Homo-oligomer: A and B are copies of this chain.
Amino acid sequence: MVYLSRLEHFNAAHKLYNPNWSEERNKEVFGPCSNQNWHGHNYELIVTVKGQPDPETGFVIDLKKLSNLIREQIINKVDHKNLNLDVPFMQGKLASTENLVMEFWRILEPLISSISSAKLHCLKLYETPRNFVEYYGE
């Protein structure tokens, strides 16, 4: 079993804001992240798949196909977007890094299995170089 990873990036705006709460409580819990006019990040996403290298190619998965899949299914939907307003799969959800990474998993996991015998193993999402999350699907 070899684990293969691909890094992609996107730039997006968001805010952390719970619509069921008062302005005050949002400010208290989310601080400057709740700024009503948004702020944003250069996100970095690392997609890790696991599998046996194919003896004919030496590949766990064709990296070009993996990269294309990530770009079509994730990057094109979030890059240069507002994560709260523009992204269908984030509607009605808090735009935290934790929620983002779990939605990305729901999209990518079946698609990776459909293009190869490799399995999605982990998603790692950097909001900044100092703050990041990992998700293993469970």
- Asked whether, in the complex, the Cβ of A58 is within 8 Å of the Cβ of B133, the reply is no
Q: Is the interface of A mostly helix, strand, loop or mixed?
A: mixed
- A110 at interface (Cβ–Cβ under 8 A)? no
In whole angstroms, what is the CA distance A32 to B77 when docked? 12
A55 vs chain B, min Cβ distance (A):
8
Determine which of B3, B30, B39, B62 lies in contact with A81 in the assembled complex, contact meaning CB atoms within 8 Å.
Answer: B39
Determine which of B41, B79, B99 lies in contact with A58 in the assembled complex, contact meaning CB atoms within 8 Å.
Answer: B99
Determine which of B7, B20, B58 lies in contact with A129 in the assembled complex, contact meaning CB atoms within 8 Å.
Answer: B7
The answer to whether residues A80 and B5 also contact, given A13-B40, A42-B41 and a CB cut-off of 8 A, is no
**Nearest neighbor of A43 in chain B, beta-carbon distance:** B42
Give A86-101 interface residues, CB cut-off 8 Å to B.
86, 93-99, 101
Determine which of B11, B94, B101 lies in contact with A39 in the assembled complex, contact meaning CB atoms within 8 Å.
Answer: B11
A134 vs chain B, min Cβ distance (A):
4
A86 vs chain B, min Cβ distance (A):
5
A-B residue pairs, 7 tightest by C-beta: A40-B40, A58-B96, A58-B94, A32-B80, A37-B82, A13-B13, A13-B38
